[in-house]
Structure 1
Amino acid sequence: MSFPDNTVLQSFPATLNHRNATIFTANRTDSSAQQAIEDLIDARLQLRDRVSAPLKGMENDLFAKSQPLDSLRPKLRVTFGRAKRDGAFDWPVEEVINTLGAQKRGAPVAGLYGFGYRKSALGLIQEFFIFTEMLDGHLNGLTWLKRERNIQNLIHVSFNLLHALHSKDIVHMDFWANNVMIDPQQPTRAKAIDLENCFLTPTDHLTEVLAFQFGFYYRREIFRFVIEHDYDRLVFEELGKYDGIDRRRFDEIYALSKHENISRRARREIFHKGTVVTG
């Protein structure tokens, strides 16, 4: 397999081979990690669903994702390092590139431990694996909210995390409460996860991107816990942290993003062109 950036594989020089799978890690795996990864590969031989869960046998250390590639086109793209027509790579490749890039910048994200793939008899990648740090003790935003019952605190923690990402030129386009991981002992030090729908460059359309991000955060479950007017007030206060925001344009896209579905492909249009397509 190849990446558009050859430093990705250089950052993970250690390899683990098991059956028809190859796993790349930054350092040589210890015996418990190796056994847990091999057990996952063995279990996946008979399964075709997507997995996103702690790595069995290492619940306190690693989180594993496994994604089968079900059709020929993604198998070819991932195997040969090709992008889709819109310039994006398939989600596992995007997540590896973005997570590693964010990690290198010291951004508040779950660190990337390794990744790999399982090949078919024809030599095409048919399943992709990603391993990240477990963030032991952390809770996702909605779980933390059930425990603390303080929606304003959750919103403040999330908005601070979003600003920290922007300060590192990381634009997370799937930013919602469950992608905010909070340490109850240090709730102000949250981390972001699931960076497959993310950009590692600043946008020329910050107004439109922020309008989408704040609107999307409200639409994904938060609207159930806060009065819209109160949420708007918190958003407008938060905008003071950002320079050059066009409030007329912001208000237009923000209102759409709070109440309309915006697909992942359409989010790329917001980042690249500042235009919004709903539906």
Structure 2
Amino acid sequence: MSFPDKTVRQSFPSTLIHRNATVFTSQGADEIAQQAIQNLIDSRYALKDRVSAPLKGLENDLFAKSQPLDSLRPKLRVTFGRAKRDGTFDWPVEEVINTFRAQKRGAPVAGLYGFGYRKSALGLIQEFFIFTEMLDGYLNGLEWLKQKRDIHSLITASFTLLRSLHNRDIVHMDFWANNVMINLAQPSLTKAIDLENCFLTPTNHMSEVLGFQFGFYYRREVFRFVIEEEYDRMVADELAHYAGVDRERFDEVYAASKHENISRRARREIFHKGTVVTG
């Protein structure tokens, strides 16, 4: 397979080949890491479900994702490095590209250790693997909230993380509490995960994008823990950190995103056109 950005592949020069799978890593995997990756590959032959969990055998070091490609079109696209009609790539490729670029910009994200794929007898990629650093000592926002029961600290830390991403021109369009990892020892230290639905280029519709991000963050579980008017006040205070926000355009998307489902495709329309489609 190939990436549109050749530096992605070049930055992961070590290769591990096992059965009909190939994995590229940023550094040579030691014997324990090799065995853990091989065991994951072996376990996938009879399974078709998606895996997203600490890598067995290296639970404190690496997090593994495995995504089967269940139809011919994504298999062809990923195998030959082709984009979809809208110019995007299938999510595992998007996540590798976005995580790699965000990491290069010094963004607070889980570091990319490697990626790879398993091919069919016909030579088509039928499953994609992604390995990131295991954020030991961190909990996702909702798990952290169960322990600390401090919704205001969670929201504040999340907003600070979102601002840090924007300062590096990273627009996370799946930004919710479970994609915010909080350091147990220092809750102000946070990292973002799951970057497959991100943009790393400027938008001409920042007011609408921010409206979606803040609204979506509220809709995805946070509304259960905070009064809406109180959340609105926290959002208004946070907007003071962003220059040039058109409140009329912001409020329209913000109100919709707080209470309506916005599909992933519709989120791209917000980023590219500033328009929101609900439902």
TM-score by shorter chain over 0.5: yes
Counterpart of 1:107?
Answer: 107
Deviation digits for residues 125-154 of structure 1, max 9, x if unmatched? 000000000000100000000111110000
Matches within 5 A, 1:131-142: 131-142=131-142
Counterpart of 2:222?
Answer: 222
SS at the partner of 1:275?
coil
For the pair 1:29 / 2:29, whether they are aligned, the reply is: yes
Matches within 5 A, 1:144-159: 144-159=144-159
Counterpart amino acid of residue 96 in structure 1: V
Write the distance in 2 (CA, Å) between the matches of 1:110 and 1:129: 16
- How far off is 1:204 after superposition? 1.2
Query: After TM superposition, where is structure 1 displaced by more than 4 Å over at least 4 residues in a row?
Result: none
Write the distance in 1 (CA, Å) between the matches of 2:261 and 2:15: 41
Counterpart amino acid of residue 4 in structure 1: P
SS at the partner of 2:118?
strand
How much is the aligned-residue C-alpha RMSD, in angstroms?
A: 0.5
SS at the partner of 2:252?
helix
SS at the partner of 2:27?
coil
- How far off is 1:184 after superposition? 1.2
Matches within 5 A, 1:181-196: 181-196=181-196
Counterpart of 1:125?
Answer: 125
Identity %: 79
Counterpart of 1:169?
Answer: 169
Write the distance in 1 (CA, Å) between the matches of 2:44 and 2:165: 34
Counterpart amino acid of residue 253 in structure 1: V
- How far off is 1:232 after superposition? 0.2
Write the distance in 1 (CA, Å) between the matches of 2:214 and 2:166: 13
Counterpart amino acid of residue 122 in structure 1: L
* Unaligned segments of structure 2, at least 5 residues: none
SS at the partner of 1:110?
coil
Counterpart amino acid of residue 240 in structure 1: A
Counterpart of 1:60?
Answer: 60
* Unaligned segments of structure 1, at least 5 residues: none
SS at the partner of 2:32?
helix
Write the distance in 2 (CA, Å) between the matches of 1:198 and 1:79: 22
- How far off is 1:251 after superposition? 0.8
SS at the partner of 2:188?
strand
SS at the partner of 1:188?
coil
Counterpart of 1:237?
Answer: 237
For the pair 1:7 / 2:7, whether they are aligned, the reply is: yes
Counterpart amino acid of residue 215 in structure 1: G
- How far off is 1:9 after superposition? 0.4
TM-score (norm 1): 0.99
For the pair 1:276 / 2:255, whether they are aligned, the reply is: no
How many residues in Structure 1 have an aligned counterpart in Structure 2? 279
Write the distance in 1 (CA, Å) between the matches of 2:176 and 2:159: 10
Deviation digits for residues 162-203 of structure 1, max 9, x if unmatched? 000000000000000000000110111100000000011121
For the pair 1:266 / 2:266, whether they are aligned, the reply is: yes
Write the distance in 2 (CA, Å) between the matches of 1:188 and 1:203: 28
- How far off is 1:250 after superposition? 0.7
SS at the partner of 2:276?
coil
TM-score (norm 2): 0.99
- How far off is 1:85 after superposition? 1.1
When structure 1 is superposed on structure 2, of 108-117 and 83-92 the one drifting more is 83-92
Counterpart amino acid of residue 24 in structure 2: F
